[in-house]
Amino acid sequence: MTISVGDKLPDVTLIKATAEGPEKVQSSDYFKGRKVALFSVPGAFTPTCSAKHLPGFVDKSGDLKGKGVDEIACTAVNDPFVMQAWKERDGSEDVTMLADGNGEFAQALGLTMDGSGFGLGQRGSRWSMVVDDGTVQQLNVEDGGDFKVSSAEHMLSQM
């Protein structure tokens, strides 16, 4: 089953990438009581993710926060060390990196992709959502290798 608008996010453990090292966070706690612009990429340092997806949310972070977003977070089926290195290279303090190293969050959402043809294995697909107090308010899932509806710009156009 794929998550839908109006659904509560599944409760799983994610790893927040920080300069001090990995920090376990429970999704039910992380999303509780705030509005989060959350987006998923197939992989840190991959071409579209590094050239367009993450930079778009970095560039539009002020606009999103101006629309009532409390937090902007990126998730990927990568380990927290890779997510932190990616943040240091291409991200900002305005975007929290949430590692889903085992893909449990992506699987629980029903938003996975098979990247085996590229040597990536099972990954989270490309999407974005607005989560308000743990409930999905807006969901934008890309088809295949597209990058159209999951961008920060598209999210802003819906707010």
Q: What is the pLDDT of residues 44-80, one digit of tens each?
A: 888 887 888 999 999 999 999 999 999 999 999 999 9
Residues marked active site are found at: 49
Question: Which residues form the domain of 29?
Answer: 13-158
Which residue would you say has higher pLDDT here, 23 or 46? 23
| SS3 category, 146 | coil
Q: Let me know the angle formed at the C-alpha of 58 by 21 and 44, rounded to the nearest 5 degrees.
A: 55
Give DSSP secondary structure letters for 10-56. Answer: P--EEEEE-TT--EEEEHHHHTTTSEEEEEE-S-TT-HHIIIIIHHH
In-domain check, residue 1 = no
In-domain check, residue 8 = no
| SS3 category, 157 | helix
Alpha-carbon distances of 51 from 29, 44, 47, 57, 89, rounded to whole Å: 31, 11, 6, 11, 12
In-domain check, residue 46 = yes
In-domain check, residue 114 = yes
pLDDT of 140 > 70? The answer is yes
Report whether 125 contacts 42 (CB < 8 A): yes
How is residue 62 written in tokens? Answer: 């002020």
CA atoms within 13 A on the CB side of 128: 24
In-domain check, residue 67 = yes
In-domain check, residue 4 = no
- pLDDT value at position 48? 84
In-domain check, residue 120 = yes
In-domain check, residue 153 = yes
**In sequence order, which residues have a C-beta less than 8 Å from that of residue 67 and are 6 or more positions away?**
156, 159
pLDDT of 10 > 90? The answer is yes
Report the number of distinct structural domains present in the chain.
1
- pLDDT value at position 1? 64
pTM over 0.85: yes
Q: What's the CATH code of the domain at 94?
A: 3.40.30.10
Q: What is the pLDDT of residues 116-128, one digit of tens each?
A: 677 675 778 999 9
